[in-house]
Chain A
Amino acid sequence: MTEANNVKKSAGTSSNLTKSQKEEPRIGVFVCHCGHNIAGTVDVEKVAQEAAKMPNVVKAEHYMFMCSKQGIELVKNSIKENGVNRTVVASCSKTQHGPTFAKAIEEEGLNKHLHFQANIREFCSWVTPKSKKEEATQKAIEYVRAAVNRSQKLEEIETRKLKTTKATLVIGGGIAGLRASMDIANLGIPVYLVEKQSSIGGHMTQLYKTFPTNECPQCSISPLTNGVANHPNVTLWTNSKVKSVEGSMGNFKVQVEHKPRYVHDNCTSCGECAENCPVEIPSEWDSGMSMRKAIYKLYPQAIPSTYVRDKKHCIECKTCINVCPVGAVDFSMKKAYDTIEVGSIVVAVGFDEYDPSPIEPYHYKQPGYEDVITQLQLERMMNPVSLTGSMILRPSDGKVPKRVVMIQCVGSRNDQVGYEYCTGVCCMFANKNAQMIKDLSPETEVIICYIDMRTPGLNYEEFYKKSQQIGVKFIRGRPSEIEKDPKTGKLHVYVEDTLSMQPMDLETDMVVLSAAMVPPKGIGILGSALHVLRSKEGFLKEFHIKMNPTQSSKEGIYLAGAIQGPKDITRSVAQAGSAAALAAAPLVRGYIEKEMILPTVADNCVLCGLCVTACPQSALKIEDRKVAVNEVACKACGICQPVCPVGAIQVINSREDELRDEILGLTGGSKAHV
């Protein structure tokens, strides 16, 4: 569905009056006792009596439980027998039973938007003390009068079926993005998988082993990476970023930017270019634990299995161009763009490892402190093709450390520097890495300094016990400082063992910091492009922490994995499945239902453009000297209404004159201007 089909020029002249505007309103008012909940404080009979006197009210009743079958029958009967064409139910909240009565009147042939709910329970009887019955009753009468006033001008609203574009965009090719892509593609829905790095796989491929089974993550993920890359329904774009997103659920238009690879697709991955490249740089993917060339493959099992050129560090000697047997290297390649249309988006851009540099007492990355590393660096060191050949060695002198101290909660659980939250994964991966060190280097002593040991759920506590059994030591205390003795060159970790209440000075050869999982760099830009809310820590905010942790703040955009908050692989995969289901639902069905509550623009519009600027959904634009409304994007928020200097743009069923009616109903003031 293209944008043109969904944008309609606004109407609003008198010749287009709907049926509801032409006929006289015949209002039915129903006041609910709700047992004692309302009737205990509000004189519901009196309210019904007063309601009967209000203009255009042809039926006013009170009943014990309006939401019961009999109560609903009352409403329906009034339509059938009394010709009621507008209903007001004064009971609980609009959210609770508004839809109940709306559906009931729809079953009798009335448009469901002709029902107005007055809340005389949460907003009245429940919040007024029983000693003030008169005040409560008065207030209830005013709420009903406001509702009756509103009822007079309600218009029918169409519920339209909008076709959805059968395609999904998945941003991020890590474990969560891959899982979501696979699940969606398997439903027969085309998937665009956009990954910013030159290969998919994400952080999981950087790990040596995964807890609690200590399996190899490359082996676990390989069927998925290959499966996704070869899936007929998946278009894989690596080295790419999402630049802009327009539209709303069912109909998004996305611009994707492709960074130039400088290597064409006929690359056979022979590696001649990298072998002959004279430039060596510390590998970012290897967390600095190895070197890569200026033309390189991200890692041996990278998918796609092609090389990529790092323009920034390339010295343009062109050796790679000369040695490539198939002539795949091409320095002239440029940035490219693609604009795609999708019906839903899954954001799975993962996390970054916290850089502990701001924690000054730990001296991370400072000269002389090369032996203070993070867990991700340790993972890369333990990997079989690392510079150390899987041996645990001190980066400063290449010697085997006799003791390694791990420090937990680096950048987490901290209200002075870093973040307040608990990452929730570090206790497990520290235990795993401690077990790995014992496995690869049995002579090395491992001590973990922790605040709490958080290993919840099946198999995790058992995993922690295993660490204890194989001799990993634990000290409950948060180290205050890592200091290098200028004379001996040894590292000293100062920590108080809070269980024995002893300050300790741990002399050690190496320190591994369990750094927090933090929002990935660039999430601010992506979040703004998607118009989704972020949490105060910077992750993307879920719609509801309990009832909907997968949907973002925007319909049609779903979150999977660590981008919604730090979590391990298990939970990331589970959430990815949830995101896939939610993302696929409107596409499989083929349409979404939208209540077409829209603004109308009257002839006195002066084309000032203020409404266009104010609209948060960018649903308005000036076209052919008129304000055009994107009927799909508009959310009827009404922000355009007060900004109009002449009052030309008004949202149906909450126009300014309608709001005025509601105000007058509450205050009882006269309709004439003061």
Chain B
Amino acid sequence: MGKDHEFAFYLGCIMPNRYPQIEKATRFVLEKLGYKLLDMEKAACCPAPGVLRSFDKVDWMVAAARNICIAEKLDRDILTVCNGCFGTLQEVNKHLKENEEAREQVNEHLKKLGDYEYKGTIEVKHIGEFLGADIGPTEIQKYLVRKVKGRVTVHYGCHFLKPTRTRQVDSSENPVILDDFAEAIGLVSVDFRQKLTCCGAGGGIKAAYAETSMKILGEKMKNMTAVQPDFILDVCPFCHLQFETGQDWLNKNKGTNYDLPVIHISQITAFCMGMDEQFVGLKYQMMGKDFKFTPVEVESHD
């Protein structure tokens, strides 16, 4: 779990470009937990586990391996806050560790890109697993300055847990890891219909089949709002983007009236660990601009 309490921080694409507040919150949380986040210089797009992988699996593996090599050079595990990046990096890392033929093939290509050689020395970690299991709902209590009261619909997304054989984080049919964590910081995780379906963004759907993407999101919004949550909790900037822009599109095109705030786990955890609410950055998001958390003060632990 992070050698010497340090991680190679993999930023991905959407977070640095669209949601810098998620990055700030992540850095806040890790620092408070006593971890240092190292920059991965020359890291590029993961690349996406849906589109690029289906076009050319080898190129996809090579590009991902190059990113992993950067972390290997730093000799630190990768921390990512995105389902998509996790999907690619964790899977390629595992595959190349176990498959000698693939490893040799990838290393052949990597040589052409520079001083890169995949060695299989590090692990890839997702913030959801880091907070939900490695730190865990009990340990996190020590660091909480306040809890938050509220009803939340938890969105696991796709690549965080699946395929179960590869990820081995939690059951993909009946997961509890994020719900348990949400409850640990004071929230009530509300059950809703079709909880484990896709948000509709990934796999190239949002780009190529925009209408279908919105249909899928529409269903999700219907099921979520039916149980009246205060906000949506996610663990992926792409799902985050989908919920944000999707609600907006549905309001404009389908006559709905959605305004459900979309919060990434880093944002809410940072707030509970003492980060100023203004840095949660809701006013920079599309939905729930005026939403304010309902904090519950917690006895300090020393």
Contact = CB atoms under 8 A, between A and B. Distances in A.
B174 A360 contact: yes
Interface in B246-261: none
B191 A486 contact: yes
A456 B295 CA distance: 66
Interface string A179-217: 000000000000000000000000000000000000000
B121 interface: no
Contacts of B194: 483
Interface string A352-381: 000000001101000000000000000000
A23 interface: no
B192 A486 contact: yes
Interface residues of A, number: 8
Contact of A486 (B171, B173, B193): B193
Nearest to A362: B173
B193 A492 contact: yes
A485 interface: yes
A536 interface: no
Contacts of A361: 173
A487 B194 CA distance: 13
A486 B229 CA distance: 13
Given A486-B227, A487-B226, A487-B227, A360 B173 contact: yes
Nearest to A368: B191
Given A485-B193, A486-B193, A360 B171 contact: yes
Contacts of A360: 171, 173-174
B275 interface: no
Contact of B190 (A363, A485, A486, A492): A486
A499 B98 CA distance: 42
Contacts of A363: 174
Nearest to A483: B193
Contacts of A483: 193-194
A483 B174 CA distance: 12
Interface in B233-249: none
Select the residue from A360, A363, A486, A492 with max chain B CB neighbours within 10 A.
Answer: A486
Contacts of B191: 486
Interface in B178-227: 190-194, 226-227
Contacts of B227: 486-487
A18 B194 CA distance: 83
A492 B171 CA distance: 21
B196 to A, nearest CB: 9
A492 B193 CA distance: 10
A361 B195 CA distance: 12
A240 B111 CA distance: 70
A379 B72 CA distance: 61
Select the residue from B171, B190, B193, B227 with max chain A CB neighbours within 10 A.
Answer: B193
A492 B194 CA distance: 10
A360 B174 CA distance: 7
B229 to A, nearest CB: 11
Interface string B148-176: 00000000000000000000000101100
B166 to A, nearest CB: 15
Contacts of B174: 360, 363
Nearest to B173: A360
A579 to B, nearest CB: 42
B153 to A, nearest CB: 11
A363 B192 CA distance: 15
A216 B69 CA distance: 71
A483 B173 CA distance: 11
A93 B192 CA distance: 70
A83 to B, nearest CB: 68
Interface string A486-514: 11000010000000000000000000000
Contacts of B226: 487
A206 B220 CA distance: 44
A147 to B, nearest CB: 49
Nearest to A494: B194
Interface in A149-184: none
Nearest to B174: A360
Interface string A307-318: 000000000000
B236 to A, nearest CB: 22
Nearest to A487: B226
A287 B191 CA distance: 30
A502 to B, nearest CB: 16
A487 B222 CA distance: 13
Nearest to B191: A486
A589 to B, nearest CB: 56
Contacts of B193: 483, 485-486, 492
B224 to A, nearest CB: 11
Contacts of A485: 193
B91 to A, nearest CB: 19
Interface in B83-129: none
Contacts of A487: 226-227
A483 B192 CA distance: 10
Contacts of A492: 193
A485 B171 CA distance: 21
Nearest to B190: A486
A492 B195 CA distance: 13
A177 B217 CA distance: 58
Interface in A442-481: none
A236 B98 CA distance: 57
A360 B196 CA distance: 13
A398 to B, nearest CB: 24
A485 B191 CA distance: 9
Nearest to A492: B193
B241 to A, nearest CB: 27
Interface string A31-51: 000000000000000000000
Contacts of B173: 360-361
Nearest to A486: B191
A481 to B, nearest CB: 8
B165 to A, nearest CB: 10
Nearest to B175: A360
Contacts of B192: 486
Contacts of B190: 486
Contacts of B171: 360
A363 B196 CA distance: 14
A487 B191 CA distance: 9
B206 to A, nearest CB: 22
A485 B190 CA distance: 12
A483 B223 CA distance: 13
B173 to A, nearest CB: 4
A361 B174 CA distance: 8
A616 to B, nearest CB: 37
Nearest to A361: B173
A456 to B, nearest CB: 34
B187 to A, nearest CB: 16
A485 B174 CA distance: 15
A361 B173 CA distance: 6
A651 B171 CA distance: 57
A514 B218 CA distance: 35
A487 B192 CA distance: 8
A483 B191 CA distance: 11
Nearest to A485: B193
A389 to B, nearest CB: 34
Contacts of A486: 190-193, 227
B43 to A, nearest CB: 36
A86 to B, nearest CB: 57
Nearest to B192: A486
Nearest to A360: B173
A361 B227 CA distance: 21
A486 B173 CA distance: 17
The 3 closest A-B pairs by CB, nearest first: A360-B173, A486-B191, A360-B174
Given A486-B191, A486-B227, 14 more contacts: A360-B171, A360-B173, A360-B174, A361-B173, A363-B174, A483-B193, A483-B194, A485-B193, A486-B190, A486-B192, A486-B193, A487-B226, A487-B227, A492-B193
9 contacts: A360-B173, A360-B174, A361-B173, A483-B194, A485-B193, A486-B190, A486-B193, A487-B226, A492-B193
